């Protein structure tokens, strides 16, 4: 799960208020099952509890029926969200919202009489074999509608994250690596441990979420924003780099490790990359043998390109050295 930042009421990014969480996961089945359920919710993802009056002003974007007002009835209202569709339920001056982000199908159920809404996946009678997995992607959040029409804001969020598919949510050019998808996350595959892209200006509800595959996990991975000349560390989750970057004014972004080692057994840590002086590189050898390796900053690496060093790192020890800026 990636919790997306909210945009404040003051400063350069005024105009949006709220928060989003991009939620991705999967259910792994260890035995054969056939879905059976009460109502229309075989596998419940989450439940909202909100005052009954909220259902009077909420709405749904249904796969078959389009935009619907939430029904204020004792009988439940249920269906499937359209690709990129959403359901809202106003609460405490704002609005809860959930989006379908790509496939598979996402169900909704509005129990106005019980003051709750449910989001689920799966269908009655669906058969799942042992070893199969059921993946899901949803975006949930809380939106302050005080800055505009709630339906318009929710629609803008869906389009900007390409939740219905495609790549038109923001101007994009991948200049190194490969574009995997712009749905949900901007997902790239690095080329030799490096990816790069640029976007045109696009005001977003949250900073653009980015995921990069094929980074070199034991290296010191950063993303670099040309517009402000800053490096930012890239957290690695299950071997994949994940970060967010503001694209309101357009950005050129480089992703990778500013320094590489010729031996993949070495672990690199780089600090001080945004200081005026040289950065400090720690090279750790976790093995039981001495390793002689070449360290370098490849061409086209921001700030440090062209640096090289050759050294021996003792077994189970570390060496610290300076990496000068260009």
- Per-residue pLDDT, 52: 60
CATH number belonging to domain 260-323: 2.60.40
What does the pLDDT read at residue 174? 98
Q: How far is CA 225 from CA 7, 85, 245, 269, 300, in A?
A: 20, 32, 9, 20, 14
Coil, strand or helix: which one is 289?
Answer: coil
Answer yes or no: are the C-beta atoms of 184 and 244 closer than 8 Å: no
The per-residue pLDDT for 49 is 81
Q: Show the low-confidence residues of the chain (pLDDT under 70).
A: 1-17, 37-41, 52-56, 72-74, 92-94, 103, 145, 147
User: Each residue of 134-154: pLDDT tens digit?
Assistant: 999 999 988 876 767 788 888
Domain regions of the chain by residue span: 2-160, 172-255, 260-323
**Nearest-5° Cα angle at 197, 193 to 200:** 170
pTM: 0.89
Give the distance from CA 212 to its chain's centroid.
Answer: 10
Give residue 46's pLDDT: 86
Instruction: Please give the pLDDT value at position 239.
Output: 87
Which are the contacts of 298, defined by CB distance < 8 A and separation ≥ 6?
Answer: 194, 260, 305
């Amino acid at each position: 799960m990636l919790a997306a930042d909210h945009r404040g009421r003051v400063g350069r990014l005024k105009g949006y208020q709220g928060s989003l969480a991009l939620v991705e996961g999967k259910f792994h089945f260890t035995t054969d099952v056939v879905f059976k359920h009460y109502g229309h919710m075989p596998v419940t993802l989450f439940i909202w509890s909100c005052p009954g009056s909220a259902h009077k002003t909420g709405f749904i974007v249904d796969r078959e029926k389009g935009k619907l007002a939430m029904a204020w009835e004792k009988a439940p209202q249920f269906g499937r969200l359209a690709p990129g569709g959403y359901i809202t339920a106003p609460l405490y001056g704002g609005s809860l919202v959930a989006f379908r982000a790509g496939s598979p199908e996402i169900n909704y159920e509005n129990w106005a009489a019980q003051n709750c809404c449910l989001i689920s996946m799966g269908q009655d009678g669906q058969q799942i074999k042992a070893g199969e997995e059921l993946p899901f992607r949803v975006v949930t959040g809380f939106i302050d509608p005080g800055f505009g029409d709630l339906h318009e804001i929710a629609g803008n969020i869906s389009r900007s994250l390409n939740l219905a598919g495609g790549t038109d949510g923001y101007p994009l050019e991948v200049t190194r690596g490969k574009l995997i998808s712009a749905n949900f996350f901007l997902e790239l595959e690095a080329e030799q441990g490096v990816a790069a892209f640029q976007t045109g200006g696009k005001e977003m509800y949250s900073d653009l979420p980015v995921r990069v595959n094929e980074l070199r996990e034991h290296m010191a991975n950063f993303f670099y924003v040309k517009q402000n000349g800053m490096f930012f560390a890239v957290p690695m989750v299950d071997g994949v780099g994940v970060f967010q970057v503001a694209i309101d004014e357009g950005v050129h972004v480089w992703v990778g490790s500013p320094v590489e080692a010729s031996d993949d057994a070495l672990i690199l840590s780089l600090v001080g990359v945004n200081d005026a002086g040289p950065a400090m590189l720690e090279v750790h050898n976790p093995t039981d043998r001495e390793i002689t390796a070449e360290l370098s900053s490849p061409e086209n690496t921001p700030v440090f390109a062209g640096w090289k060093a050759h050294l021996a790192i003792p077994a189970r020890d570390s060496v610290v050295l300076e990496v000068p800026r260009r």
